[in-house]
Amino acid sequence: MTIQTTNPFTNKTVKSFKEMTETAVEGKVAKAQEAFTHWKETTYQHRADLLHKVATLMRVKKSELAQTITLEMGKILSQAEGEIDLSADIFDYYANHGEKFLADKVLDPEYGTALIRNSPIGVLLGVMPWNFPFYQVARFVAPNIMVGNTILLKHASIVPQCAAALEELFAEAEAPEGLYTNLFISGKRASALVSDKRIKGVSLTGSEEAGASIAIEAGKYLKKVVLELGGNDVFIILEDADMDKTVEWAVVGRMNNNGQCCVASKRFIAVEAIADTFIKKFKDALSKMKVGDPMDPDTELGPLSSEEAAVELADQVKRSVDQGAKVLLGGKRADREGAFMEPTILTNLKPGIAAYHEELFGPVASFYVVKDEEAAIALANDSDFGLGASVFTQDIERGKRIADQIDAGMVFINHPTWTQADLPFGGTKRSGFGRELSELGIHEFVNKKLIRVSELNDPF
């Protein structure tokens, strides 16, 4: 396998890394286990101090770290800087709130007393994707370090410099050796590692295939697993939506991160009454996007993360068109060097057409017109995925009623699905299970230990 930095703006490889040997990995797992025996005894204050230090270092090095993101996976530089801010906020958030979230929960049993204590469980394995190289790691790692667990992290092989920089941040913050360890190994080897008795839980963010591979091993070896997988989120536009603002959010929802967000708005569903107005404005906005160098502050749409990703997306569009989809805008690779795809809108999509079912991970929007709200909900739910969804309406009660009927982990009213430290993130159906962030995220890898005190004469 190759672990290397290839700039997707030029498709030139700039740095390669060696995969770790089995002996090296064994040494790192042993260190992570040893670190756990000490880390689980530290105070919450001690753990919070470390998380704050990492957050501070991230902010100090923001510019350098953001440039590494942009170099390795093509994110527009200002968005990469935003990702570093968000990641630092997540570290601070768990440092500030972790102890409160993990406090004993006193129960009120019929007789005697009882409480639930949240104890760490041990070494965890994280398998993370390239699309938010710092944020994805932050939302798994910060809560678990606060819990008292230790971390082995297998990052996507196209962002090795980000992976190494994350480990370096912990070293600079003077974290004990073994608390956070980067593993340069293949996905297959990460799956195989789940069987190691010292690893007590695993969290994967990525594709359904990789998720299933990890979940099979977790099932076989009876380990707790959290999966954050793909999505095909809807963006529903009702007749009473504020059209100009809705179109602005539609562009952000689809094109943020060059179209490569799990929670990107991917299926745009407009009711008949306003469909023509929406699509005219949306198409106009996408066709004016400035495509170019992600390091250039004027650029609005950069390349995909890799040449392979661009080839795959173009193939999904071609298959869809061969099956009957119509191209309203774009539809091809951009005529330039690098992993670029034109901003694209597909329509005339029906069951059986690739774009109706598959996740399109890039700047390609699917557009649907439906008769009314009921038809919009039915179409939204006709998907194997259930990650996020958006509903645009000026009637908030109507928006909430629709949210109730959509099978998704997150429904946003008048906003594209997005994330912040204090809101839970996760999906249902084939988008995975478990939650990250907020108070919910910190409880995924803890032993909720019941401690019961009885009188000797209490009944059995």
Q: Is residue 361 a contact residue for ligand NAP (CB under 6 A)?
A: yes
Q: Is residue 4 a contact residue for ligand NAP (CB under 6 A)?
A: no
Q: Is residue 205 a contact residue for ligand NAP (CB under 6 A)?
A: yes
Token pair listed for 361: 């991970």
Q: Is residue 387 a contact residue for ligand NAP (CB under 6 A)?
A: yes
Among 89, 92, 228, 373, binds ligand NAP (CB under 6 A): 228
- Alpha-carbon gap, residue 17 to 15, rounded angstroms: 7
Task: Please give the residues from 119 up to 148 whose contact with ligand NAP meets the rule CB under 6 A.
Answer: 127-131
| φ/ψ bin of 41: left (φ > 0), alpha (ψ from -120 to 50), beta (otherwise) | alpha
- Marked catalytic residue, from 72, 83, 217, 228: 228
Chain residue at closest Cβ approach to ligand NAP? 187
Among 28, 47, 154, 266, binds ligand NAP (CB under 6 A): 154
Task: Please give the residues from 426 up to 445 whose contact with ligand NAP meets the rule CB under 6 A.
Answer: 427, 431-432
**Nearest by Cα to 176 from 34, 59, 24:** 34
Question: Residue 413 pairs with which residues in a beta bridge?
Answer: 391
Q: Cβ distance 117 to 130 under 8 Å?
A: no
Answer yes or no: 217 catalytic: no
**Nearest by Cα to 137 from 35, 205, 189:** 205
Q: How far is the CB of 170 from ligand NAP (least distance, A)?
A: 19
Q: Which is nearer to ligand NAP, 305 or 393 (CB)?
A: 305
Among 213, 344, 366, 393, binds ligand NAP (CB under 6 A): 213
Q: Is residue 206 a contact residue for ligand NAP (CB under 6 A)?
A: yes
Residue type present at position 170 = F
Among 4, 11, 67, 207, binds ligand NAP (CB under 6 A): 207
The C-alpha angle 271, 403, 425, rounded to 5 degrees, equals 120
Q: How far is the CB of 409 from ligand NAP (least distance, A)?
A: 8
Q: How far is the CB of 305 from ligand NAP (least distance, A)?
A: 8
How far is C-alpha 419 from the geometric centre of its chain's CA atoms?
9
Among 231, 259, 303, 362, binds ligand NAP (CB under 6 A): 231
Q: Is residue 46 a contact residue for ligand NAP (CB under 6 A)?
A: no
Q: Is residue 314 a contact residue for ligand NAP (CB under 6 A)?
A: no
Token pair listed for 49: 């101090």
Q: Is residue 262 a contact residue for ligand NAP (CB under 6 A)?
A: yes
- Alpha-carbon gap, residue 213 to 229, rounded angstroms: 12
Q: Is residue 232 a contact residue for ligand NAP (CB under 6 A)?
A: no
The C-alpha angle 355, 356, 358, rounded to 5 degrees, equals 60
CB-neighbour burial class of residue 167 (10 A; exposed 0-12, middle 13-18, buried 19+) = middle
Binding mask 175-204 for ligand NAP (x = CB under 6 A): -----------xxx-xx-------------
Which residue in the block uniquely carries the two structure tokens 């070896």? 221
Q: Which is nearer to ligand NAP, 98 or 409 (CB)?
A: 409
DSSP for 7-55? ETTTTEEEEEEPPPPHHHHHHHHHHHHHHHHHHTTS-HHHHHHHHHHHH
Residue 369 backbone dihedrals phi, psi, to 5 degrees: -115, 135
**Residues involved in catalysis:** 228
Which stretches of the chain bind ligand NAP, using CB under 6 A?
A: 127-131, 154-157, 186-188, 190-191, 205-207, 210, 213-214, 228-231, 262, 359, 361, 387, 427, 431-432
